[in-house]
Amino acid sequence: MDYAQRRTGMSYGHEPPRRGYGSTRRMEMPVPDQRYVDPRWQTDPREQRRQGDPRWQGQPGDWQPADGQPPGPPVPPAPPRRKRRRIGRILLIILLAFVLLIGGVWLYLELNLNKVEALGDYQGRPAAGAGTNWLIVGSDSREGLSAEDQERLATGDAKGQRTDTMMLLHIPDNDTKATLVSLLRDSYVDIPGHGKDKLNAAYAFGGPKLLAQTVEINTKLRLDHYIEIGFGGFADLVDDVGGVDMCLKEPINDPKAGINLPAGCQELDGGQALGYVRTRATPRADLDRVIHQREFIGALTDKATSFGTLINPFRMIPLLADAPGAITVDKGDHLHNLPSLAFAIGGASNGKTIATTVPMGGSARTKSGGAAITWDPAKKTKLFDALRTDQPVPDDVIVDPAR
């Protein structure tokens, strides 16, 4: 027997002996896709979802064999991050564009406001009190109006400077109501350097500066702001907002003011509105006139700041274009001062702002022989003292010509 036979225990032509216990057995090959896999070496389920593995069902540990049927619909893939970022950038661009638009409009209005030196220090000027005081002036200057405009608005061709409207607006610092006081143009007052005369003569003598000084001296109130609007600018603003609705208790026919209005509620355009606030062709003349002025200015302010006007480009754009040229403010005034003014004036039409006239005491004659109105000394002091100290205005000094 050779070495191979001795090693294997068999010779040629014989079957190999059976292996006993402990003999090495042949390893069975695993069936594909069913072999054991240590779970510690499985792929991260989150990575499987990103790779689109069908065995992933949405929760860590949910594992199906490749040839198995998933128990539910596959989880949709997460939305692409790039798309979300693109939407965010678009929204940011829109927001920035809106902010730039508002800033540009604000800057345009601020830079194009007409300004004049109306308020200033002088010897004997009243000390500052509580709250904020505005002097609101409606000028009947024809400057800048063409002959056609003068005819359309029935302003006439008078030369020089005069005022048709003068109102004192007090905005308190506390929770008392704002007060709008009409100053009758024929009020007999002291005008610095000119003696006693009608209040509107101060504007003719020395323009806005002398008028403001005259109001301060006679009311003992320091003015903080000044605003003026002329004939043409007033009519343009009314037309820009599409007219203003007013309800007339009685018809008004005044050829001098260029109006013939029936009684009842109606919409007034720029020319009709100007005639309405100027006319004195009513039974009480100037007393009715100040009522018309307060009511209409309040209604115009409400219309200009209403939601319907703000979202209508056909009204808002002309209004923004005409507003800077229509009004004149003091050199120390800015655009951010105007919102509080508009809010307080608008309150005159709904009762949120007290509307009154300086209490009258009697009549007087000017140096030129014209008739004028004096202020009641005790009541006017009581009225202006309440405004100076931000106290509620006493009922006995509130003058309502409509009563």
> Which tops the pLDDT comparison, 285 or 12?
285
Calculate the CA 124 to chain-centre distance.
38
Of 80-84, 204-208, 221-225, 300-304, the least confident: 80-84
- pLDDT of res. 248: 87
- Model-level pTM greater than 0.75? no
In a domain, 158, yes or no: yes
In a domain, 52, yes or no: no
In a domain, 372, yes or no: yes
Locate all alpha helices (DSSP H) within 60-198, ordered by sequence: 81-112, 147-153
In a domain, 119, yes or no: no
- pLDDT of res. 224: 94
Domains held by the chain: number: 1
In a domain, 79, yes or no: no
62 CB-near residues (< 8 Å, 6+ apart): 45, 56
Residue 229 has pLDDT above 50, yes or no: yes
Query: For residue 144, what are the domain limits?
Result: 129-397
In a domain, 102, yes or no: no
**Dihedral pair phi/psi, residue 374, rounded to 5°:** -95, 155
Residue 403 has pLDDT above 50, yes or no: no
Residue 13 has pLDDT above 80, yes or no: no
**Over the stretch 307-331, which tens digit does the pLDDT of each residue have?**
888 888 888 888 888 888 888 999 9
Residue 281 belongs to domain with CATH number:
3.40.630.190
- pLDDT of res. 153: 54
> Which tops the pLDDT comparison, 72 or 397?
397
Locate all alpha helices (DSSP H) within 53-161, ordered by sequence: 81-112, 147-153
If one counts every other C-beta atom within 10 angstroms of the C-beta of residue 294, the result is 24
In a domain, 69, yes or no: no
**Over the stretch 141-192, which tens digit does the pLDDT of each residue have?**
555 555 555 555 555 555 556 677 889 999 999 888 999 999 988 899 999 9
Q: How many residues does the chain have?
A: 403
Question: Mean per-residue pLDDT for 122-137?
Answer: 91
Helix then strand count (H, E) for the chain reads 12, 15
Look at residue 266 and give its three-state secondary structure: strand
Of 86-90, 245-249, 256-260, 383-387, the least confident: 86-90
In a domain, 304, yes or no: yes
**Calpha distance 383→219 (Å, rounded):** 9
**Over the stretch 61-104, which tens digit does the pLDDT of each residue have?**
444 554 555 555 555 665 566 666 778 788 888 888 888 888 88
Q: By the 8 A CB rule, do 347 and 178 touch?
A: yes
- pLDDT of res. 134: 94
Question: Mean per-residue pLDDT for 196-219?
Answer: 92
**Dihedral pair phi/psi, residue 247, rounded to 5°:** -115, 115
